[in-house]
Structure 1
Amino acid sequence: MTTSKNTQKVALVTGGNKGIGIAIVRGLARDGFTVLLGARSDELGRAAAAAVDGDVRPVLLDVTDQDQIDALVRDVADQFGRLDVLVNNAGVNTLTFRPMEDLPKPTEETVDDFKDVYEVNVFGVVRMISAFLPLLTKADAPRIVNVTSKRGSIGEEGAWVGQPSMVYSSSKTALNAITVHYARQFAGTALKINGAAPGHVATDFNGFRGTRTPDEGAAAAVRLATLPADGPSGAVYEDDTQLAW
């Protein structure tokens, strides 16, 4: 990253080079943030950042690589001294590893399937929060947004329509749970952490079968990233609706 004095709010978006991630980057840049666009590829990150208006800066970031995370923490600390917003958007699903026609039933899913998906969707989020928490607590109004899914809900009507993957759905259930636990720890502080469910968005994540646009799916995450001081914490939202998970 290029070193420069920056008084704008700073946001970091993991998995920011495509789909819902790049839509979240666009929304935050439009709101005046300096946005650090996390991507696993330098080339893809630079191309994505160049396509967005505003102060968008690509950063190399694989949420399964602790060394990369630690290096980025040092860079952000040196350049900005704080982080105002962390959006944990990077995610994988069963289709990342299996074709749609081979989508397994619960009894066909394996421990390795769980490891592959949880490594990003759950453990990656814990790595990011643990690593960036010292910089977040230096911000005046720190916000963490975990991009989740209605598929992770146990109690929300319609969450189980179709053939959901047990591994993917349960990873988002776990993500919702840790979101609440973090929120409880930081209750009474300026830090707010919430989950954003984008809905069924048409991206390569689902073979473009979704019915919503990436910008529609990103709206909840952008809103939760910019909550006022009296905003909620420890909740999961799809658009403006709080989900029962």
Structure 2
Amino acid sequence: MATRLVQINMKAQDDAALGRFWAEALGWGVDSEGPGVTNLEPPGFAYPDPAAVCIDVIARPEVKTVKNRVHIDLATTSPDHQAELVARLKDLGATLADVGQGDVPWVVMADPEGNEFCVLEPRSVYRDTGPIAAVVVDCADPRALALFWDGAMDWTLHEAADDRASLRSARGVGPYLELVRTPDSKSVWNRVHLDVAPYPGEDLAAETARLRALGATDPGIDQSEIHWTILADPEGNEFCLLTPR
């Protein structure tokens, strides 16, 4: 059995408005499966496919209060492209953000609801990822967390060091999942989290048990009215295990 990263779940006070921002930012299409849910994916995309990690923007009334522990890094192909993308994102409503990054070659920004993201300088490793270079998770121990996700998913582990680890689809397409050491600790539930899904024909209960055996825990959230399973990784970051698809 195995699962794989299929989308990012992003909470928003106005899901439609934030969905429009990210659709324009990424050049993706917008759809909705119901009130309070805005779905984003590339044009012509057949969900799920590792060529892209989609985004679901979900309406929630709570206001963002702390830096997100999960964020998106955007890829660029040249210094001019990076500058042009930053300018275009500002026009769409993004702002520059200071998270203590200091003098770095990438640009830290925040979307209209304050969710941090980075516009990276050109890097050859991201030349074929699409607009999203990586989904980044803050953590205390990247090496240990990489062992969990390497066992949980059928993605390939590319790097596992004390400060950083990365995984990518075994097909060598789409964005990376990157685990980055940060000094701050988790204090509230994550407004942005990972959604993973088993393959068709797999059993949700069996996959839940397997992930628990690898170190996933119960985040203590009422799940009586949902058909998927909410778990937390070994560092307490919530993620959703969707029905097999």
Q: Do these two structures clear the TM 0.5 threshold for a shared fold by scoring above it? A: no
> TM-score, normalised on structure 1?
0.30
Q: Identify the structure with the greater helix proportion.
A: 1
Q: Identify the structure with the greater strand proportion.
A: 2
> TM-score, normalised on structure 2?
0.30
